[in-house]
C-alpha cells in the first residue's frame, strides 16, 4: 500500500532494483533479463520481470552494466565494476564473456570523430567466437580469464578477433 507521497512504493521499488543490481554483480558472465529473473526466482528473490528489465536498462544508462547482443539479437547484461567502457569477446556456445583491451578501438573512434567533425560519437563492437573450453582443447575458460584482458596481437591471443 502506497502512502500519499508514494514513499513506501518508492522504497520497495528501490529495494527490488538493488536486488537486481546485486544479482547481476554476483554473476561472472553475461545474462539475459529473463535468465537473471529466473535465477533470482530460483534463489527466493521475487521481483517482477518488468522490474528486472527496467533495472537493467537503468544500470546500463548509469554505466554500471555492459550489454552485448547474442546471435538472435537478445540483449545480455554483465555488471561493470568500474565506470570504464569495455569490450568483450563472447563465446557463442557457453556465453562466457572475456574482457578485451580495446585501446585501439577507442583511439580509432576518437580519430573518426575528429576527422569527420562529429561530436558525442558512440559505438558498439561485438566480437563472438568459440572459447577453448567449448572447442574441447583442454584450456579452461577460468584459467584464461585469470590471465586478464586479451590484448590484440599478444602471444596468448589465441581467440578470434577482428582485424582491420
Q: Would the pTM of this model clear 0.95, i.e. be above it?
A: no
Greater model confidence, 24 or 94: 24
Mean residue pLDDT of the chain comes to: 77
3-state secondary structure the chain: CCCCCCHHHHHHHHHHHHHHHHHHHCCCCCEEHHHHHHHHHHCCCCCCHHHHHHHHHHHHHCCCEEEEECCCCCEEEEECCCCCCCEEEEECCCCCEEEEECHHHHHHHHHHHHHHCCCCCCCCCCEEECCHHHHCCCCCHHHHHHCCCEECCCCCCCCCCCCC
Q: What's the pLDDT tens digit per position in 77-110? A: 999 877 667 788 888 888 888 888 778 888 999 9
List of domains in the chain: 1-83 (1.10.10.10), 85-164 (3.30.1490.190)
Amino acid at each position: 500500500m502506497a502512502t500519499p507521497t508514494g514513499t513506501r512504493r518508492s522504497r520497495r521499488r528501490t529495494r527490488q532494483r538493488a536486488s537486481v543490481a546485486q544479482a547481476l554483480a554476483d554473476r561472472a558472465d553475461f545474462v539475459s533479463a529473463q535468465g537473471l529473473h529466473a535465477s533470482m526466482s530460483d534463489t527466493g528473490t521475487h521481483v517482477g520481470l518488468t522490474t528486472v528489465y527496467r533495472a537493467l536498462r537503468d544500470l546500463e544508462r548509469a554505466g554500471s552494466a555492459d550489454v552485448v547482443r547474442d546471435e538472435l539479437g537478445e540483449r545480455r547484461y554483465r555488471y561493470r565494476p568500474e565506470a570504464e567502457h569495455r569490450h568483450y569477446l563472447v563465446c557463442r556456445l557457453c556465453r562466457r564473456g572475456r574482457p578485451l583491451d580495446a585501446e585501439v578501438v577507442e583511439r580509432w573512434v576518437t580519430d573518426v570523430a575528429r576527422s569527420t567533425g562529429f561530436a558525442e560519437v558512440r559505438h558498439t563492437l561485438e566480437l563472438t567466437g568459440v572459447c577453448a573450453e567449448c572447442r574441447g582443447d583442454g584450456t579452461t575458460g577460468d584459467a584464461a580469464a585469470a590471465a586478464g584482458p586479451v590484448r590484440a596481437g599478444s602471444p596468448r591471443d589465441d581467440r578470434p578477433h577482428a582485424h582491420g
